């Protein structure tokens, strides 16, 4: 079988699989609006699909466009984001909306990557899912598929080794559906055969959440969505995670603009808010 025949056979198998087993009803697959695609892609980073669906629907209902999101207060955006984690994504999304509201949204990878919170993968996702452009896309589920089918048993496989196979097999007529199929198939492969993405040189194991700096950052944000304003001492007292991370977490959030200080409290300390 020639390489062209192998590619055609792989395409046929995958698209047939997707037609039967694909997650066709995901809400962000019912639109090509780049705003909706961006919201979904940022939410889906490090977060399971089942958790994202209700949050995505609520977010789009509250902020249906870049313009509506740009007009919102940062605290409103972060509050609605609660439950997804990685709150910086909400801030990036808000900043992006403020930058593009009322303008034509970019359609090239280079232009998209200039916007807050949009890296190489998110830019390719927007190009593929919004504009149906035949870009080269790589993420964990896609890696899983190509490692499983084309690099069985090999370890430390580089992305540069995978890319030629992605190019050869890409359905250039409908890259949108092709990448949906790859992602769904890769997700199922991980459940049935294990996470082959671990054999990629790009693989990094996610650190534990409990007891981490990330947990304390999330707690600070959650406390400020519940109480609106708190002093630094009040925040530190209420933290249930590892308090040793509090100084670094608090300083990081300040520098990132995630939390801001307002009026001084009666005890003399500044009161902090989102």
Residues tagged active-site: 41
CB 59 within 8 A of CB 89: no
CA angle, residues 210, 213, 259, in degrees to nearest 5: 125
Sign of CA dihedral 160, 112, 186, 182: negative
Which tokens belong to 53? 């669906």
Q: What is the DSSP letter of 134?
A: -
Name the phi and psi angles at 102, rounded to 5: 80, 0
CB 143 within 8 A of CB 197: yes
- Quickly tell me which residue has 């080794």 as its tokens: 161
How are beta strands 270-273 and 260-264 bridged, if at all?
antiparallel
Give Cα 195 to chain centroid, integer Å. 19
């Amino acid at each position: 079988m020639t390489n062209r025949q192998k590619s055609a056979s792989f395409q046929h198998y995958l698209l047939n699989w997707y037609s039967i087993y694909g997650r066709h009803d995901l809400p962000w697959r019912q639109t090509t609006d780049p705003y909706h695609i961006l919201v979904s892609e940022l939410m889906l980073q490090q977060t399971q699909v089942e958790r994202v669906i209700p949050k995505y629907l609520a977010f789009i209902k509250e902020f249906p466009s870049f313009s509506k999101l740009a007009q919102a207060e940062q605290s409103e955006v972060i509050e609605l984001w609660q439950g997804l984690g990685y709150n910086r994504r909400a801030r990036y999304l808000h900043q992006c909306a403020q930058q593009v509201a009322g303008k034509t949204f970019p359609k090239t990878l280079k232009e998209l990557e200039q916007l807050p919170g949009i890296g190489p993968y998110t830019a390719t996702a927007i190009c593929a899912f919004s504009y149906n452009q035949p870009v080269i896309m790589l993420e964990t589920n896609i890696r899983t598929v190509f490692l499983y089918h084309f690099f069985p048993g090999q370890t430390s496989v580089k992305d540069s080794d995978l890319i030629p196979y992605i190019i050869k097999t890409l359905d250039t007529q409908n890259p949108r559906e092709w990448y949906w199929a790859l992602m769904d198939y890769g997700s199922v492969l991980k459940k049935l055969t294990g996470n082959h993405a671990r054999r990629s040189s790009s693989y990094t194991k996610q650190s534990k959440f409990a007891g981490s700096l990330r947990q304390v950052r999330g707690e600070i944000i959650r406390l400020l969505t519940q109480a609106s304003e708190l002093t630094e001492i009040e925040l530190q007292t209420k933290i249930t995670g590892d308090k040793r991370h509090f100084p670094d977490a608090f300083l990081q959030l300040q520098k990132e603009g995630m939390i801001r200080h307002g009026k001084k409290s009666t005890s003399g300390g500044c009161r902090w808010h989102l």
